[in-house]
């Protein structure tokens, strides 16, 4: 909804503040996923077409219908990297913009807290509900009502949880990009077992000393 | 107040959603199937709307009509979606209710649902759990 109250850390007196209807962001997040699938499949068709025409030039007989399509796993992987990459870039930029007035972070936990509170509020309009860590570089963020999933629903038995998975990939990238901008290399994985909840697992990669 | 049934028609005039709560006392006991009913309802509102516009000008809209058995309420959005509801004859205008269904349920759970397609051919994406649950609760809350 577009009439949500304005949340910190930005406010109307901030001369650099920009306001966008949140529906815009919602629709953009929604459309990026099917768009990535389309682009990935179209690029693959071009590759297949050009390789088969090259094969024609070499006069190797090609039987119709043997054009190798990407299998599901490859498609999934390609779309994942496309979306994750978009998110990574967004996360990087967001941190530059919204951490500029903050003191330097002391340790990794500080950074993770900034991510769970400030950045999450900024992107998903609420804070992370639960943060767990094994104190050895693994952090598990649980959001019981993940905003992009709040209106996600299918018919009963429509495998909503499976279909929701690709919508976690941009947020994954945003988290990884944000951490990278704050000097923490990490791998980020996300999954959901029941809508509208989502669990993010961050494994930090210790910097070589 | 009793709500008998509810229909949504898209801009391609296809019935993309229909739901019945209670059958009206004496109609729908004949042999017509529910899809036939939807076609009949659409034919009625389509003709009425056109007739009303012809007589009253482009901006005129028909809101409801009443027979001895039921009252039909009609709401058309700027995007040419048509919402129709059949209630008992003593019910006051349900235009506001139809508008609420549009903005609070349709827009939220169908248009902003990432798993719902843009076009709802055959009702695809409309019959999702959140929309159905929300609609049922909303209507039962009125009755």
A91-123 per-position pLDDT tens digit: 999 988 888 778 888 888 889 998 998 899 888
Q: Is residue B41 predicted with pLDDT exceeding 50?
A: yes
Interchain CB distance below 8 Å, A158 and B131: no
Classify A126 in phi/psi space as left (phi over 0), alpha (psi -120 to 50) or beta: beta
Give this prediction's pTM: 0.79
Cα A148 versus chain centre, distance: 11
ipTM of predicted assembly, 2 dp: 0.77
For residue A164, what is the nearest residue in chain B, using CA coordinates?
B115
Sorting pLDDT into bands at 50, 70 and 90, what band is A57?
Answer: low
What residue segments make up the domains of chain B, in order of their start? 3-142
Show contacts of A162-167: CB within 8 Å, 24+ apart: A163/B115, A164/A192, A164/A195, A164/B114, A164/B115, A165/A191, A165/A192, A166/A33, A166/A36, A166/A37, A166/A79, A166/A80, A166/A83, A167/A29, A167/A30, A167/A33, A167/B114
User: Tokens representing B103?
Assistant: 């903005």
> Is residue A3 in a domain?
no
Q: Is residue A204 predicted with pLDDT exceeding 80?
A: yes
Q: Hey, which residues does B74 pair with through a beta bridge?
A: B84
The 10 Å CB-count burial string (b at 16+, else e) for A79-100 is: bbebbbbbbbebbbebbeebbe
Topology of the domain comprising B3-142: Beta-Lactamase (3.30.450)
Interchain CB distance below 8 Å, B129 and A155: yes
Determine the structural domain holding residue A54 and report its residue range.
22-60+68-204
CATH number at residue A98: 3.30.1380.20
* Strand, coil or helix: B66: strand
pLDDT value for A209: 56
> Is residue A10 in a domain?
no
> Is residue A12 in a domain?
no
Average pLDDT, chain B: 87
Task: Give the closest of A148, A154, A167 to B128, CB-based.
Answer: A154
Question: Are B98 and B83 contacting, i.e. CB atoms less than 8 angstroms apart?
Answer: yes
Q: Does residue B106 sit at the A interface (CB-CB below 8 Å)? A: no
Measure CA of the first residue to CA of the last residue in chain B; give whole Å.
Answer: 6
* Chain A residues within an 8 Å CB radius of B128: 153-155, 158
Q: Is residue A9 predicted with pLDDT exceeding 80?
A: no
Q: Does residue B127 sit at the A interface (CB-CB below 8 Å)? A: yes
Q: Is residue A62 predicted with pLDDT exceeding 60?
A: no
Q: Can you tell me the mean pLDDT for A17-40?
A: 87
In this structure, of A60-74, A75-89, A172-186, B53-67, the range with the lowest mean pLDDT score is: A60-74
Q: Does residue A158 sit at the B interface (CB-CB below 8 Å)? A: yes
> Is residue A17 in a domain?
no
Interchain CB distance below 8 Å, B113 and A153: yes
pLDDT value for B31: 54
If one counts the domains in chain A, the total is 1
Share of chain A above pLDDT 70, in %: 82
Q: Is residue A56 predicted with pLDDT exceeding 70?
A: no
């Amino acid at each position: 909804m577009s009439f949500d109250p304005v949340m910190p850390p930005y406010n109307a007196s901030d001369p650099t503040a920009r306001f966008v209807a949140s529906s815009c962001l919602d629709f953009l997040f929604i459309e990026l996923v099917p768009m990535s699938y389309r682009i990935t499949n179209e690029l693959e068709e071009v590759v297949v077409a050009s390789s088969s025409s090259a094969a024609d030039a070499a006069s190797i007989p090609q039987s119709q219908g043997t054009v190798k399509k990407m299998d599901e796993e490859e498609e999934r992987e390609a779309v994942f990297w496309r979306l994750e990459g978009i998110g990574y870039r967004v996360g990087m930029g967001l941190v530059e913009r919204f951490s500029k007035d903050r003191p330097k972070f002391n340790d990794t936990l500080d950074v993770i807290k900034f991510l769970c509170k400030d950045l999450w509020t900024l992107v998903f309009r609420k804070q992370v509900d639960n943060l767990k860590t094994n104190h050895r570089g693994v952090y598990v963020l649980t959001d019981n009502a993940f905003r992009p999933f709040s209106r996600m629903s299918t018919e009963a038995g429509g495998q909503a949880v499976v279909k929701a998975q690709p919508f976690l990939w941009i947020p994954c990238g945003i988290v990884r990009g944000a951490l990278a901008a704050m000097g923490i290399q990490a791998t980020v994985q996300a999954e959901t077992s029941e809508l509208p909840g989502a669990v993010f697992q961050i494994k930090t990669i210790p910097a070589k000393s | 107040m009793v709500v008998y049934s509810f229909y949504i028609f898209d801009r391609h005039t296809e019935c993309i959603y229909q739901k019945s709560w209670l059958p009206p006392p004496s109609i729908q006991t004949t042999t017509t199937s529910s899809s036939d009913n939807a076609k009949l309802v659409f034919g009625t509102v389509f003709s009425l709307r056109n007739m009303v516009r012809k007589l009253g000008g482009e901006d005129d809209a028909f809101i409801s009509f009443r027979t001895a058995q039921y009252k039909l309420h009609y709401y058309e959005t700027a995007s040419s979606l048509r919402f129709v509801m059949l209630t008992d004859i003593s019910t006051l205008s349900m235009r506001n209710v139809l508008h609420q269904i549009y903005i609070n349920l349709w827009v939220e759970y169908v248009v902003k649902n990432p798993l719902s397609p843009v076009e709802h051919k055959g009702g695809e994406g409309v019959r999702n759990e959140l929309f159905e649950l929300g609609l049922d609760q909303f209507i039962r809350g009125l009755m």
